[in-house]
Structures are given as C-alpha cells and as structure tokens.
Copies of this chain bind each other. A is one copy, B any other.
Amino acid sequence: MISVQEALQIVLKNTLDFGSEKIPFMKSVGRILKEDIHADRDFPPFNRVSMDGVALDYTSFQNGERAFFIEGIQPAGSPQISLSDHKNCVEVMTGAVLPGNTNVVIRYEDVLIENGIAKIQLEEVAHFQNIHAKGKDRKEGDIIIHKNKLISASEIGVLATVGNSKVKVAKQPKVMIISTGDELVGVNEAPLDHQIRMSNVYTLVSLLDRLHISSETDHISDDKPILKQKIKEYLKDFDVLLFSGAVSKGKFDFLPEVFQELGVDKLFHKVSQRPGKPFWFGQKKGCKLFAFPGNPISTFANCLAYFYPWYYKSTGIKTNDETAILTENISFKPNLTYFLQVKLSHKYGHLLATPIKGNGSGDLASLVNSDAFIQLPKDQKEYKKGENYPIIRYR
C-alpha cells in the first residue's frame, strides 16, 4: 500500500494535455488562459484626465497667474483640443484626453468659476497632477495577463479593454462518471428498506462543475459482463472515467478485475489514508481511470485530493498550498494519513480549523457542517492544538 504522497506523485506524473480552444471572452470565467494577453496600445492610451476640473499650463501658474479664462471644454470621448493661449484654461472631465498645451489639472473643488474665469484656490500645484500619464500602467506590447492564469472577473475587464473578444483557453476533459452498487436507487424513487438513493454521481458532477467541467453519468449494476461491456466503450470515448464503488474486497467489487481484463494499466490500488483507502488509479492509452471507493466521504475526499490536483497540473494552473491551525488536540492511531473534516474560521489573520466529528466515511450529512479536510500526516498519532497542517477546501 502506497502513501498519499506517492499516490499523488503518480497521479501528477500522468496528466493529460486537453489542447486548447478559442471561446467568447464572456464565457471564459473559470477557464485557464492558454495565451499571453498583450497590451494592444499604451495604458492609458493618452494622457488621461483623472479628475473633473480645469487643465492649464504649469508655467503660467508658476509665474503667478491665478485667474484663467475658460477657452473651451474637453469631455471624455471627444478628440483632443488644444489650448490656444497659455494664460487660458480648458474645462476637463475625468476620462478625457488632456488638452494640448496643458500639463496640470486642478479639480473643481479647488477652483472658483465666475463669469467664465476659473480662479485657482491653491498656492501650489504639481506638474502633471491629476493626470494619468500615457503608458504609465502598461506599454503597448507588454504582457498584461500571462498564460495559464485561471480567469476571473478581474481578468474579464482587461480582456475587454484590449479587445480580446475571443480568448484561447484549455479545453476541458471529456469525463464520464460511473457509479456502481445494487443498493442504489434514483433520487425520485422511494427506496425499499435495504436500499438507499444514489448520491455520489451527483456530488461528483457538482465537484466537476466547480472546475467548469461538464460531465456525463451512468449507473451500472454489479454485473461483471455488463460492467465490462460498458467500460470498454467508455474507454474509447472519454479522457477520464471517474468511478465510485466496487474497488474494495467485496464479492461484487468487480472493477479491478474488469480493468485488468480490459487491458487497463494499473498504476496503484490502495493508499494508506482514511477515508478513501481502496482508491484505484490506472490508464489505458489516452484515458485515465480514477476509481474511488463508494462511501460518500471517500469519493468526495478523493476527488478533491487527487482529481483536482491532476486537473490543475494538466491545465497548467499553479495552486497555493493552504494550511490551517487546529483548534483542538486530535488523536488518531492507525498508520494512515487522516483526512479530517473541519470547519474553518478566521481570527487575527489566522485560519482556524475546528474538527467536525462525523460518524465515518458513510456519514454524508457531516459534510454540510464542515468546509474542508485537514490532512494529518500518517507518521504521527497525536496532532496538537495550535499546530498547522495542509487543508483542502470544498467551499
């Protein structure tokens, strides 16, 4: 049985390149940028007025002039006008081009306007004040968003500004999610006493939605020939198969045998962790198989702990490892990495993790009260209040 670290390394060595595609920029939030975005002109593209007021010639002001005849007006969105007499001024609006022959903007708050004359109420002004100078933020040709950035609302405005109405992003993998287990019935069915409703496929669909991956789903009964026939087809049609169930020691846990018979290359089976120990990972040609144990918390934790990093690495996103501070002592005897559910809170810039005691990997409802897993290393038995460990958030 391999460790969580070894398992993760193997998973991350076996990434896929999904290729790239051009999509409308307004559909690109949550996707991964696959081109550098360059400034198509200087930013700002002109000396830009940054306060409403009057623009005038700095030298005139320095020479003692305080009353300026208003020669004209320069609204935002109008072609540049120029001051014809350096003793005059121009009214200017935020976002306008700075008029020619001016190099200072005095905001309205510091000006008294009477009979077409602007009287400056200041004794000192700075050259180029209230002017956002051409090219100050970025020069034409500069990279303003680097490749492999996860696109968020903050990038959308920049893409619009440089006119990238289409943007090159990583394609998403084609994913099929397959649940097994004859005890499962549909959400709309009334389960008999020995049955339960299926939940893992829906959880997995939602976890993939969070990555903006749309997926297909199937439920296959615990019948070996049917499993084999269906998986054989799916191996051809999908980049990723995610399974929940049928990978442990049960008499109807047919998946490992089926995978072998279909020529799938097993990369590992079983990881020294709780929950989620019987995780099986393998590949056949371009298709990767993540077979998670069927307990709800096991499936959930493994999708976050393995599929997510695999997807991030495949698409080129760099992620930040996050740690949190335990608020209670935890004792855990088995020689396993422990993915413990925690509730997160914040205090004085510290991220605090309070353990939520669930009833094991079958206790799906316990996820509702927690926000993350904290990953407690297997070479310890005691984890003390105040110590910090890596976390995996799911909210």
The residues of A with any CB-CB pair to B shorter than 8 Å are 25-26, 29, 39, 41, 43-46, 48, 50, 52-53, 73, 75-80, 91, 93-97, 107-109, 132, 136-138, 144-145, 149-150, 152-165, 181-184, 187-200, 202-203, 205-207, 209-210, 222, 248-253, 294-296, 300, 320-325, 344-353, 358-368, 370, 388, 394-395
Contacts and interface: CB of A to CB of B under 8 A. Distances in A.
A359 B136 contact: yes
B157 A75 contact: no
Closest 3 CB pairs of A and B: A77-B182, A77-B183, A153-B206
A40 to B, nearest CB: 9
Nearest to A367: B154
B43 A252 contact: no
A365 B45 CA distance: 13
A322 B322 CA distance: 15
Given A157-B199, A194-B79, A394-B154, A249 B108 contact: yes
Given A132-B362, A321-B346, A368-B144, A77 B194 contact: yes
Nearest to A109: B249
A182 B75 contact: yes
Given A94-B294, A252-B76, A187 B145 contact: no
A168 to B, nearest CB: 16
A97 B132 contact: no
A228 to B, nearest CB: 19
A328 B227 CA distance: 59
Contacts of A364: 43, 137, 157-158, 161
